[in-house]
Structure 1
């Protein structure tokens, strides 16, 4: 059978025509069946959502717990000793001795942090914060009410002290106890919040971080009393803890106290330590049973 040769020009026209017809059909179909329009939405980046959630957690915890966090202040009379004055008009007595003020000089300073554990006036802090048996201590609440400490229980084993104040001596807000958590359930990497009187000056300072380690053992020293103490099974955190934060609460994201801030590693950054709250529970149970 002979095949007829189609001229090249005619073949090109047929191809182009086929393309044109196909395009036309597609155009008709596309015109009949339009894709539904998707409404525009303002999508928030995932990082922004994460930050907002984290901020909300911190704000909620601070609002819940900060009324229960107090500043510990010390009041002590310091003997000045003998004072001498140069007398240039008396060649036989170059120095004139001046008697010191009667009773010495009274010194007051905010030195630590604590938190309320009962509405009748029991406060937890570190033993090294209230270690001076010759001094008087006071508690300052968030609403700037001051209470004199009437009794101090110092734990012979742990760096823990319980201060007793009388809520009726001030017209401030009712004392609000903290909620205690369970330190046996802590995990490395868990989010934590610390509240305290940083540097003995900045009350209710809030810092955040994570649990960096558990079951640590350290040798801690007090800048106020000059003694050292061995602390075992403590929580390590990278939340900023400064002198003055001692005795303040370390909190989980639910606002529960999981530790008592106790020390910071000198010469390093973001290495702080806290006594697990379960250790504090044992001391409190012993105190409630024996009263000492």
Structure 2
């Protein structure tokens, strides 16, 4: 199969993974979502989405810093074309396809060759490839021309041109079998003695077999805890019945769907907090009417203001972090969420503004 055929056939198995620390890729094998340990960032919960899975919270049930593997579980409808692990190793020069979400560009497939079938790194074998791998690709599948998973895209050499490395399929197969033999979830693999440790039996974050400090156990126990203005922003959103975990895009960025409108909230390093709703685009005809309407509404609005950037209409709320309070923030953001959808409908239906096209993963 060519690259496009492989992507079309197996795309339902490709998962986007989001945490407060970044994004990555995963893929389905049997009833598990496979990804890198560094993608899940030591968390017990991550946000995932795919062609068949609406953006939702899923559980990290296995974390392995040694192989840089993690398993995620959620009940999902199986793809009609499930991915399978390869039964044979790659060879130098083999054609290979990497699928992932680099820089948030969903379902990107890149083709290359196996530069070196076995490259030793810290006592582990890796497949060296020249297919383009970028941030966001980590945890995604490396496929052969039959569409079989030959490895997990794991890391790149910074400032090098298409120099990527994938963990071979046999490490994944070994880990899946060992994990399933335990018949329990929430397992951590000790990077020192290599034993599979049941999280519920860990005390004081130490491996009870060899005494090694399990850093991932500590991170899983603590979870993600926002602080300062970030914590206040999330309290405000929670009080407005927004699922903060699902809306969080990073430690300082949130996205909330409000009807047909979408509200982006960003907290910048200079202390500025901006809530932006990118509504619609100005029409070609009767532009003066829509300008007059926006100006008249700006005179009536409090907390919020309309603006136009190029030909796109925005409804925004701006405040400095030191001025943000729970009470005032709830008023302002509630208005932004409520009025964004309302104004989007008015501008489109009454003033013939042009509805924005959304990326499929933004709906």
TM-score normalized with structure 1 length: 0.59
Maintained 8 Å contact 1:72/1:138: yes
Q: Which has the higher contact order (CA 8 A, sep 6+)?
A: 1
| 1:92-127 deviation digits (Å, cap 9, x = unpaired) | xxxxxxxxxxxxxxxxx7510000112x4x200001
Maintained 8 Å contact 2:119/2:126: yes
1:125 corresponds in structure 2 to 35
Maintained 8 Å contact 1:238/1:272: yes
Name which one, 1 or 2, has greater alpha-carbon Rg: 1
Taking only aligned residues, the RMSD between alpha carbons, in angstroms, comes to: 1.9
Aligned length in residues: 183
State which of 181, 184, 200 in structure 1 corresponds to 2:86.
Answer: 181
| Aligned-pair CA distance for 1:279 | 0.8
| Aligned-pair CA distance for 1:144 | 6.0
Matches within 5 A, 1:274-285: 274-285=166-177
Maintained 8 Å contact 1:151/1:165: no
1:138 corresponds in structure 2 to 47
Matches within 5 A, 1:84-123: 111-118=23-30, 120=31, 122-123=32-33
State which of 195, 201, 214 in structure 1 corresponds to 2:99.
Answer: 195
Name the CA shift for 1:267/1:194 in 2 (closer, same or farther; >3 Å). same
Name the SS of the counterpart of 2:101 in structure 1. Answer: strand
Quick one: distance in 1 between partners of 2:17 and 2:9? Answer: 20
1:157 corresponds in structure 2 to 66
2:135 corresponds in structure 1 to 243
Name the CA shift for 1:271/1:151 in 2 (closer, same or farther; >3 Å). closer
Quick one: distance in 2 between partners of 1:231 and 1:205? Answer: 31
Quick one: distance in 1 between partners of 2:105 and 2:45? Answer: 21
TM-score normalized with structure 2 length: 0.48
Gaps of 5+ in 2: 188-363
2:227 corresponds in structure 1 to none
- Work out whether 1:71 is the aligned partner of 2:16: yes
Question: Once superposed, which parts of structure 1, at least 4 consecutive aligned residues long, lie more than 6 Å away?
Answer: none
Gaps of 5+ in 1: 1-55, 76-108, 168-172, 219-229
